[in-house]
Structure 1
Amino acid sequence: MGRQGGAAARVVLWVACAAQFMVVLDISVVNVALPSIQRALGFGAAGQQWVVNAYTLVFAGLLLLGGRLADLFGRKRVFVAGLAVFVAASLAGGLAGSPGLLVAARAGQGLGAAVLAPATLTILTTTFPEGAGRTRALATWTAVGVAGGTAGNLLSGVLTEYLSWRSTLLINVPIGLVAIALAVRFVARDGEGTRRQRIDVPGAVLATAGLAALAYGISQAGSAGWAAPSTVAGLAGGAAALGLFILVEARFAPTPLIPLRLFRIRAISGGNVVMLLAGACLNPLWYFLTLSMQHVLRYSPVQTGFAFLPHTVVAILVGARLTPRLMRRVDGRVLIATGALLAAAGFAWQSSLTPDSGYLAGILGPAVVFAIGGGLLTTPITAAVTSGVAPAEAGAASGLMNTARQVGGALGLAVLVTTAAPDNPAPEALASDYGRVFLAIAVLMALVAALAFLLPAHRDRPLGEN
């Protein structure tokens, strides 16, 4: 199996998946706890999005650096360092006593995740050669990520209702310490390679600042309007920082975070556009669906957590079991387009939620449809954007893919919050506000379906075929 023996490769796969589970868990683990966090620390309705976005923006902005660190300093070393930072920030967040401290701790978690996440994908792409074996590994990695997202919602509900919202962050500490011990024991040390090269810190700072400024500008548009000075300053500052980032990468960085020649590979350039738009749909889904369940249907935190279980079961069955088999017989572009259209139909159905909706028609039905769609499209996109890359640049490509997904999620959330803009707490009014959000997501997913054909045709070779 792959470049290592079968047993060793399976151990590497599951260690990488365990770390990915933690990273995705913490994207969603605060979702169900948001109302409790808002009451306990005094967040405003618009401010509570930063409990989510502080994590996702720092995560997205530093993923390019995290991916390059794995190339320069070794996957194992970076992997363990990312886990250590993640654990320390989780402890700080669980003990935070003010909105500012919690947001700062969430940013620290994003830093740890940015170092950790690309290393997990790089480990897989350098362990498993392209073909059916890698597709199965990526499908498992993707399914574990989906499980982490829903486990976060479920754990958040149980822990918030029976302990405290603080436990949603503190639970990472024992899990992270065990993960560090396992990584030290089982992840093989890689060669020295090209280490000791200079790190592109200016590029990392510019990327993070640019993304944060864009998200701030978009979030200000919802409360102050698109012509407000704060909105214009955020958008202009973000665009300027990202423009400087491209200039630094092209002209001045001795070891760019993202070698621009990677964009000459059609699968990478087109695939990351598709990944960014898919992230703008699928990542904010959990935020708005959580609020819909608690504010419109009046579910408790535990009920909300358990209501997310069908999303996980369906997505895992489709993504980990069905999709890898289909990829041997069906063009990946067709799978992406089909999955995106199914997801769009599910989101359109979700937009019809009302305070009188029952669970079957209001939550379960839409969940099955868009979970099937998401399960079909994610693995083919991931396979596309990690194909045709030399091992020495696998970390950069992995960081780019994760960046596209998280940037899409963070900016998508910021834009969609302005679409909802709830100012009436009545369940009927909130249902209408969140309905507009789900319709907007459906439109974006239809665009993903159309853009899927920017990618080159791709179908997996069977195992053992060269």
Structure 2
Amino acid sequence: MDRKSIIKIIALMVTAFGIGIDFTGALMLVPAIESSFDADITSTQWVLNIYALFFAMTMVAGGRLGDMYGHRRMMIIGLSIFLFASILCFVSPGLDYLIGARALQGIGAGCVWPCTLAFGATKVAKEEHRALVMGLILAGVTTGNVFGPMISGAVVNLGDWRLFFLANVVFSCVSMATAILLMERETEHKKGEHIDFAGMGILSLAVLLLLYGLDVGADWGWTSLPLILLFFVSAVLFFLFPRVEKRVKEPLLLPQLMQNREFLITLGLNMFNVSAAFVGLLYFPQYMQKVLGWSVFQSALGLAPLTVLLAVGSIVSGTLYNDFGPKRLLFWGYVCSTLGAASVVVMPASAGYLQILPGMALIGLGATLTVGPSGTAAVCAVKPERAGLVGGLSFMTHLVYGAISVACATAVMYVSSLQSLKTGLAAADIDMSDTDQKAINGGTLTTESAKAVMQKLSSDEIEKVKSAITAAFDTGMNMAFVFATFSVAVGIILALMLDEKKLHKIEE
């Protein structure tokens, strides 16, 4: 490989690294954001969910636009959007503003990521080097996943979580400069490409309404008429989506794919493997900060058993796939993830960090055995000319279900922890209004609302309330992982249903 190609690969790896740090790094900021904007976990979860949703829904369109107008051009446009959104995150005056900026970041990343992969595969790598180049780009993003939490910890220790988004600005500027200076303009583009905006719009709105309903359910009441109507509209949109797909010229879901049993199984295997990992990435850092009292940087280091395994998995999964085949890898990977999620529930709270350490290791190992192989298996289930579409669709499904899992787990966590808090306060003979209980539920006592509640209490009552809050958070987190356990366990069944012989027979 010549020097010019190596420099381009390094530039693409830097771009991938910037996307990687943004995803995991932002999760470490949740407690700090709660304090800054006087919010609870049901609201701050959107910092992850809205980014994942818009990233996922933009990615297919971003890839298609790159084919139509040039991958270099779309990379630069996407990086410009990402850069602008990062500045908006930095100056956010409120949580709603930050969530909107994160959505815009997701759109930018959704344009950049598929074009980064496509440019590396078609304009940098020769045929014999393509697998190596793809592996290096993926190594860039997974390395970013490892270092993202550490960057978050460092900036919070400096006193302001907003500084994290300045790191995004730096990497975006570097990536834009390298794209402009090092990447040659493309002169030939695909003609006659169409983008399924109708399908993307309907699916995005259906998921968004579902996530919003899970967010406000505890406040509105799970049996309230407005919430039931919200879920009904979401269900109608999910019902309409495949029917709309039958009418558009180039749908996200081709009718032939929906009739392919092995493809549907592999698509499911792409979905359920993310549940435990996403829930873990959200709640493990909070547990270390809110229950164990660790700093953000300490919790970033404590998260390493999960993030490092996720990074290593992306590098070694290809070799494992060739050596063992998808069925065995996916089955044992899902078994590991299920046991990991379950271990968080059954390990005693008195174990401290050891309560979550086995879970992190097993979930990380499970992700190593499932994330890459499930995507490869999906591509193997279709004709070669549909590989690009299916690859994007698999990753989109992966992120969308991850967002839904986080929303479901958070709804379960909030209700469970609030009930546990009520019980704990009653046992301590402390009378507190429902409004005050909601203000301190979730374990962040540095918000203005929580401080106002704690100021009403005597020193003896404060210690009792802190104990009740800690126990409540642990109970809520355990219930979130009960949901994750059942969700991931579905993958064990799907892995057993997968027929490897049919998988490698190209669908007609």
Residue 27 to residue 261, structure 1, CA distance change in 2 (3 Å):
same
Residue 377 to residue 68, structure 1, CA distance change in 2 (3 Å):
same
TM-score, normalised via structure 1 length: 0.86
Q: Distance in 2 between matches of 1:296 and 1:115?
A: 38
Contact 1:96–1:102 (CA<8 Å) still a contact in 2? yes
Bigger CA radius of gyration: 2
Task: State which drifts further: 262-271 or 34-43.
Answer: 262-271
| Superimposed CA distance per residue, residues 362-400 of structure 1 (whole angstroms, 9 cap, x where no aligned partner) | 343332222222112222112123346677655433331
1:12-411 aligned at under 5 Å gives the runs 14-123=10-119, 140-187=136-183, 189-190=185-186, 192-195=188-191, 197-251=193-247, 253-264=248-259, 268-321=263-316, 323-352=317-346, 356-359=350-353, 361-387=354-380, 393-411=386-404
Amino acid at match of 1:345: L
- The DSSP-based 3-state class of the residue aligned with 1:164 is coil
Alignment correspondent of 2:432: none
State percent identity of aligned pairs: 24
Alignment correspondent of 1:452: 495
- The DSSP-based 3-state class of the residue aligned with 1:342 is helix
| Superimposed CA distance per residue, residues 397-426 of structure 1 (whole angstroms, 9 cap, x where no aligned partner) | 333122101111110011101111132341
Q: 1:418 aligns with which of 411, 428, 448?
A: 411
| Superimposed CA distance per residue, residues 434-459 of structure 1 (whole angstroms, 9 cap, x where no aligned partner) | 11222332232222122124444289
Q: Distance in 2 between matches of 1:188 and 1:296?
A: 51
Bigger relative contact order, structure 1 or 2, given CA contacts below 8 A and separation 6+?
1
Contact 2:146–2:311 (CA<8 Å) still a contact in 1? no
Greater percentage in helix? 2
Shift of 1:92: 0.8
Residue 59 to residue 214, structure 1, CA distance change in 2 (3 Å):
same
Residue 154 to residue 458, structure 1, CA distance change in 2 (3 Å):
farther
Q: Distance in 1 between matches of 2:224 and 2:493?
A: 34
Shift of 1:216: 1.3
Residue 247 to residue 279, structure 1, CA distance change in 2 (3 Å):
same
Alignment correspondent of 1:437: 480
Q: Distance in 2 between matches of 1:28 and 1:342?
A: 22
Q: Distance in 1 between matches of 2:124 and 2:182?
A: 17
Residue 124 to residue 338, structure 1, CA distance change in 2 (3 Å):
farther
Task: State which drifts further: 185-194 or 148-157.
Answer: 185-194
Shift of 1:102: 0.9
Residue 265 to residue 122, structure 1, CA distance change in 2 (3 Å):
farther
Alignment correspondent of 1:464: none
Give the unaligned 5+ runs of structure 2: 422-442, 444-468
- The DSSP-based 3-state class of the residue aligned with 2:161 is coil
Contact 2:47–2:102 (CA<8 Å) still a contact in 1? yes
Q: Distance in 2 between matches of 1:117 and 1:41?
A: 31
Shift of 1:151: 2.1
Number of equivalences: 453
- The DSSP-based 3-state class of the residue aligned with 1:298 is coil
Contact 2:242–2:253 (CA<8 Å) still a contact in 1? no
Residue 430 to residue 11, structure 1, CA distance change in 2 (3 Å):
same
TM-score, normalised via structure 2 length: 0.79
Shift of 1:186: 4.0
Shift of 1:91: 0.7
Amino acid at match of 2:493: A
Shift of 1:268: 3.8
| Superimposed CA distance per residue, residues 285-318 of structure 1 (whole angstroms, 9 cap, x where no aligned partner) | 2111122111121211111111122323334344
Q: Distance in 1 between matches of 2:251 and 2:69?
A: 15
Q: Distance in 2 between matches of 1:245 and 1:227?
A: 26
Q: Distance in 2 between matches of 1:460 and 1:18?
A: 35
Q: Distance in 2 between matches of 1:419 and 1:310?
A: 26
Q: Distance in 1 between matches of 2:336 and 2:21?
A: 25
**RMSD in angstroms over aligned alpha carbons?**
3.2
Q: Distance in 1 between matches of 2:75 and 2:497?
A: 33
Task: State which drifts further: 333-342 or 440-449.
Answer: 440-449
Residue 263 to residue 15, structure 1, CA distance change in 2 (3 Å):
farther
Q: Distance in 2 between matches of 1:358 and 1:413?
A: 23
Contact 1:353–1:362 (CA<8 Å) still a contact in 2? yes
Amino acid at match of 1:178: V
Give the unaligned 5+ runs of structure 1: 462-466
Task: State which drifts further: 18-27 or 98-107.
Answer: 18-27
Residue 194 to residue 317, structure 1, CA distance change in 2 (3 Å):
closer
Contact 2:284–2:303 (CA<8 Å) still a contact in 1? no
Residue 271 to residue 406, structure 1, CA distance change in 2 (3 Å):
same
Residue 183 to residue 353, structure 1, CA distance change in 2 (3 Å):
farther
Shift of 1:68: 2.6
Q: Distance in 1 between matches of 2:12 and 2:379?
A: 16
| Superimposed CA distance per residue, residues 188-245 of structure 1 (whole angstroms, 9 cap, x where no aligned partner) | 5556343464543333322221210111122333444432223222222222233333
- The DSSP-based 3-state class of the residue aligned with 2:269 is helix
Residue 355 to residue 116, structure 1, CA distance change in 2 (3 Å):
same
